[in-house]
Amino acid sequence: MATGSAAFVIIGALMSEEPSPTRIAAQVASGVGFLGAGVILREGLSVRGLDTAATLWCSAAVGSLAGLGFHAAAAMTAVAVVATNLCLRPLGRLIDRRQDAGSEVDVEYRISVTCAAADETHVRALLLHAVATEPLTLRGVRAHRGPGSDTVRIEMMVMSEGANHRPVEQLTSRLGLEPSVTSAAWEATGEEVNS
C-alpha cells in the first residue's frame, strides 16, 4: 500500500504539466479510504476490521510522504503506526474480554408453526434442519393437536447468544412458504444473563 501510494505521488511529481503532486496524494487518500471501507465488517452488534482499515490508510499516508520526498516524516509515521498496532492491541483485547465476560446475554425465542397433521414429520424435520444451519441452540420441541383437528401446532424453543432476531425471522419466513403450513410466528420469550 505504501509503495503504491509513493509511486502515485512520484508520478505526479515527474509529470511536468501537473502543478502539484499533493492533488494526487489527496486522490490516493480517497481511494485508500474506499478500500478500507471494504475491509470493515459488521457481525451482529460488533464491528470488525476498523484496525485494518486505519492501518491501510496510514500506510498510504506513509507512502505519500515518501513520494513527496519527506522521508523523515514517512519514517516517523511508519514507526508510530507499527507502535500503535503492537502496543494497543493487547489493551484492546483486554477491554473486549472484560466486555464479553460481563454482558453476554442469551435470548430465548419461541417459534410456533401450524401445519397439516399429515405433514408434521416433514415440517418438524425442516425446523430442525433450519435451526442446525443458524447460530441458534435448540432447547425443546412440542407438538399440540386438538381433538378431532387435522392440524398440528409445533412449538420450538431456541436460544441465541445476544438479541439476534434476523435468523429467527428468516427461519419463520421460510417455513411460512411451505404449502402445508397455515401459520408461522416467533417471539422473544425472555432474556438470561450469563456471567
| Residue ranges per structural domain of the chain | 2-101, 105-190
pLDDT per position as a tens digit, 57-116: 888 888 888 888 888 888 988 898 888 888 887 887 787 676 555 445 678 889 899 988
How far does Cα 131 stand from its chain's mean position? Answer: 20
Quote the crossing angle between the two packed helices 50-67 and 71-103, to the nearest 10°: 180
pLDDT per position as a tens digit, 125-175: 888 888 787 778 888 888 888 788 888 998 988 888 777 788 888 888 888
Q: Facing residues of 59 across strands?
A: none
Provide the whole-model pTM.
0.44
Q: Facing residues of 144 across strands?
A: 153
Contact (Cβ atoms closer than 8 angstroms) between residue 147 and residue 89:
no
- CATH homologous superfamily of 105-190: ACT domain (3.30.70.260)
